[in-house]
């Protein structure tokens, strides 16, 4: 027997309709690429997104066509999302931090027809677009006065495009499983892979993101997504904000410490989200100028492991609570959340740290399993490593234009991460499968060593990779980038680790590097690092 409730397709146009109807005056504030801080509201975003939809239709964009954005976090960028998705076209977020060749490859693979972009990226597009025959037009998110001369044909300014259209346009009316967004993973192995979100998956993810344990989005909060809209959908904030009537503050092109601090204080930001490396710049600025937060209460940190020093720094120096989370492009991206249950939150702060550095438990809607190489369940003892597998309505079932199956026979997606789960249910990422160090048949977690190493006051970045070893196969090497003006003392670094990790996990060597390469999503690029270290030999085996 079927239930007798209404069929109300979960399509994301309803999110911005809701924001317009019930939170229409709530602001979205942007540091514009042109310079000034600009203000708009959900009602205005809704109206302009409708105009954009009409422009797309006038250009012959059909449901299912891919329309790309190459843009910073801004109200304009939000308008393009809703304008594209509302008519059933697919919003393809491009990551400007990719190499031009990769970007071109992705645009061609997606067959993007239109690109919306910020002024910042015109030189990049000038280089890429001659190789992208499917792109028919480029719209710059600016007005006519700011539109520069470029070599790009059919370049238009956004304001003129909107001005020429009516705000009357029908949205939705299609199946909730219709494709809605496309985001490629950065392709640290092989070619980039396109994750194709549906309206339904984004809608359900929005409910998850809004909850108290994740973002706690309400009209009383003010959220600053530092995490870019091109990096796994800004972790859902461009949907959760309007869904809950929360004021959003968009950093545009400037994510340096001074710019972020000014926005946080100036706009009364209470919650923010970013990868760990962003916060280091903010801390440095605040410490140098002896600054404090007056409104910021909580930050969500994920994308790579959050070191203990950052969690303590936020809490002890600035009174800000850190929520550690794990996810990936394929999980929309929220996969687990490190919200502390009362049994752990009631412990002395130092004892909580064991759980605060873990990535937490899945929210409702994510099923999580830890499996061994044979696909068998691994003990939840907090020690045994297993492959992290997930399934649920916000998890990818396949990649765009690929027939390859990415699910196991129980429908679980293999995340490529290695993790443990402890008796309290807290998951901890120990490594990406390709980064794990295999020493004497046992596995060493590079992430755990890195997190402790980066807590040393002289260290800016730390990476651990495996170096070939005659007896043990591989042994860990710690690569360090020091803070400006500091000097390296190898023994000092090893002393800092000693007693905090198992003896046999102690790195065989410490190497100082001028630079540790970061990838397109702000994480250490281990593939490139291994490439740079390919001639390195451990002292014993040299
Ligand atoms: P990519 O970095 O490959 O472009 P994603 O942003 O989707 O793509 O990255 C997802 C990966 O980032 C995860 O599979 C995991 O390895 C890593 N990751 C994400 N959050 C965390 C975290 N809190 N701790 C450790 N690793 C994390």
Active site residue 59: no
Q: Which of 190, 429, 446 to mutate to test the pocket of ligand 1 (most atoms within 8 A of CB)?
A: 429
Q: 384 alpha carbon to ligand 1 midpoint, in Å?
A: 20
Predicted confidence at residue 542, as pLDDT, reads 44
User: Does 305 contact ligand 1 (Cβ within 6 A)?
Assistant: yes
Active-site residue 185, yes or no? yes
Does residue 523 line the site of ligand 1, with CB under 6 A? yes
φ, ψ at 152 (rounded to 5°) = -80, 125
165 within 8 A of 296, measured Cβ to Cβ: no
Cα-to-chain-centroid distance, residue 5? 36
CB 411 within 8 A of CB 433: no
Region 466-479: mean pLDDT is 93
Instruction: For helices 75-86 and 13-23, give the axis angle rounded to 10 degrees.
Output: 130
Q: What is the pairing mode between strands 386-391 and 413-421?
A: antiparallel
Span 337-357, average pLDDT: 97
Residue among 159, 176, 330, 450 flagged as catalytic: 330
Per CATH, the number for 435-542 is 3.30.300.30
Pairing of strands 437-439, 179-184: unpaired
Which CATH number is correct for 13-27+35-198, 3.40.50.12780, 3.90.550.10, 3.90.1170.40, 3.40.50.620? 3.40.50.12780
Quick one: three-class SS letters along 482-500?
ECCCCCCCHHHHHHHHECC
Q: Decide if pLDDT at 208 tops 50.
A: yes
Residue 305, SS3 per DSSP: coil
d(CA 244, CA 327): 22
Give the pLDDT mean for 375-404.
97
pLDDT of res. 20: 98
Q: Which two tokens stand for residue 304?
A: 């790579």
Classify 104 in phi/psi space as left (phi over 0), alpha (psi -120 to 50) or beta: alpha
Verify cis geometry, omega within 30 degrees of 0, for the bond prior to 333. yes
User: For the segment 42-70, what is each residue's pLDDT rounded down to a tens digit?
Assistant: 999 999 999 999 999 999 999 999 999 99
CB-ligand 1 contact for 328 (6 Å cutoff)? yes
Is 221 a pocket residue for ligand 1 (Cβ < 6 Å)? Answer: no
Q: How many whole angstroms separate alpha carbon 222 and alpha carbon 422?
A: 34
Mutation to probe ligand 1, out of 355, 523, 525 (largest number of atoms < 8 A from CB): 523
Domain ranges in the chain are 13-27+35-198, 435-542
Q: Which positions ≥6 away from 288 have C-beta within 8 Å?
A: none
Question: What pLDDT is stored for residue 523 in this prediction?
Answer: 85
Establish whether 458 is a catalytic residue: no
pLDDT at 459: 93
Catalytic residue flag (residue 521)? no
Cβ of 165 closer than 6 Å to ligand 1, yes or no, is no
Equal fold, 13-27+35-198 vs 435-542: no
Q: Give the number of the atom of ligand 1 that is nearest the alpha carbon of residue 325.
A: 23
Joined tokens for residue 165: 């259209």
Q: Quick one: pLDDT at residue 187?
A: 59
This prediction has a pTM of 0.93
Map residue 8 onto helix, strand or coil: coil
pLDDT confidence of residue 154:
85
pLDDT of residue 541: 53
Instruction: Please report the DSSP string for 247-294 in residue order.
Output: EEEE-BT--SHHHHHHHHHHHT--EEEE-HHHHHHHHHHHHHTT---S
Say if CB 209 and CB 240 are below 8 A apart: yes
CA 101 – CA 112 distance, rounded (Å): 15
Q: What is the pLDDT of residues 409-425, one digit of tens each?
A: 999 999 999 999 999 99
Choose the weakest-confidence range: 4-18, 109-123, 526-540: 526-540
Quick check: 189 pLDDT over 80?
no
What per-residue confidence (pLDDT) applies to 442? Answer: 86
Q: Decide whether any atom of ligand 1 lies within 6 Å of the 69 Cβ.
A: no
What angle is formed at CA 419 by the lines to CA 414 and CA 420, rounded to 5 degrees? 130
């Amino acid at each position: 027997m079927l239930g007798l409730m209404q069929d109300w397709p979960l399509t994301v146009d309803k999110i911005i309709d809701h924001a317009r109807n019930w939170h229409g005056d709530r602001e979205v504030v942007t540091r514009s690429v042109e310079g000034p801080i600009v203000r708009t509201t959900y009602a205005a975003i809704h109206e302009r997104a409708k105009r954009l939809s009409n422009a797309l239709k006038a250009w012959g964009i059909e449901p299912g066509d891919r329309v790309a954005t190459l843009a910073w976090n801004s109200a304009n960028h939000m308008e393009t999302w809703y304008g594209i998705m509302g008519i059933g076209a697919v919003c393809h977020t491009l990551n400007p931090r990719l190499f031009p060749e990769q970007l071109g490859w992705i645009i061609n693979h997606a067959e993007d027809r239109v690109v919306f972009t910020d002024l910042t990226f015109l030189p990049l597009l000038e280089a890429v677009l001659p190789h992208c025959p499917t792109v028919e037009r480029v719209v710059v998110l600016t007005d006519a006065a700011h539109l520069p001369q470029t070599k790009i044909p059919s370049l238009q300014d956004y304001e003129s495009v909107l001005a020429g259209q009516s705000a009357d346009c029908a949205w939705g009316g299609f199946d909730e499983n219709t494709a809605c967004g496309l985001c490629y993973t950065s392709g640290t192995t092989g070619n980039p892979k396109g994750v194709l979100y549906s309206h339904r998956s984004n809608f359900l993810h929005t409910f998850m993101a809004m909850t108290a344990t994740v973002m706690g989005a309400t009209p009383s909060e003010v959220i600053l997504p530092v995490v870019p809209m091109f990096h796994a959908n800004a972790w859902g904030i461009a949907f959760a904000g309007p869904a809950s009537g929360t004021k959003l503050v968009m950093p545009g092109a400037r994510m340096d410490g001074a710019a972020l601090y000014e926005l946080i204080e100036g706009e009364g930001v209470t919650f923010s989200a970013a990868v760990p490396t962003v916060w280091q710049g903010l801390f440095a600025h605040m410490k140098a100028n002896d600054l404090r937060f007056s409104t910021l209460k909580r930050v969500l940190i994920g994308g790579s492991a959050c070191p203990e020093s950052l969690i303590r720094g936020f809490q002890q120096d600035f009174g800000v609570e850190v929520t550690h989370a794990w996810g990936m492009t394929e999980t929309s991206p929220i996969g687990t959340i490190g919200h502390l249950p009362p049994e752990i939150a009631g412990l002395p702060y130092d004892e909580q740290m064991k759980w605060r550095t873990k990535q937490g438990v899945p929210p409702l809607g994510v099923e999580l399993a830890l499996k061994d190489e044979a696909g068998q369940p691994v003990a939840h003892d907090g020690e045994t490593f297993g492959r992290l597998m997930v399934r649920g309505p916000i998890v990818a079932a396949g990649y765009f234009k690929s027939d390859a199956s990415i699910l196991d026979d129980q429908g679980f997606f293999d995340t490529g991460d290695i993790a443990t789960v402890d008796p309290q249910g807290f998951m901890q990422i120990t490594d990406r499968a390709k980064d794990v160090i295999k020493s004497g048949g046992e596995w060493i977690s590079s992430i755990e060593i890195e997190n402790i190493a980066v807590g040393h006051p002289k260290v800016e970045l730390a990476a651990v990779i495996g170096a070939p070893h005659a007896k043990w196969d591989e042994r860990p090497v710690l690569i360090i980038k020091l803070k400006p003006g500091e000097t390296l003392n190898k023994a000092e670094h090893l002393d800092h680790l000693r007693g905090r990790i198992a003896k046999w996990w102690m790195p065989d060597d410490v190497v100082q590097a001028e630079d540790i390469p970061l990838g397109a999503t702000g994480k250490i690029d281990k593939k490139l690092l291994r490439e740079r270290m390919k001639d390195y030999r451990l002292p014993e085996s040299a």
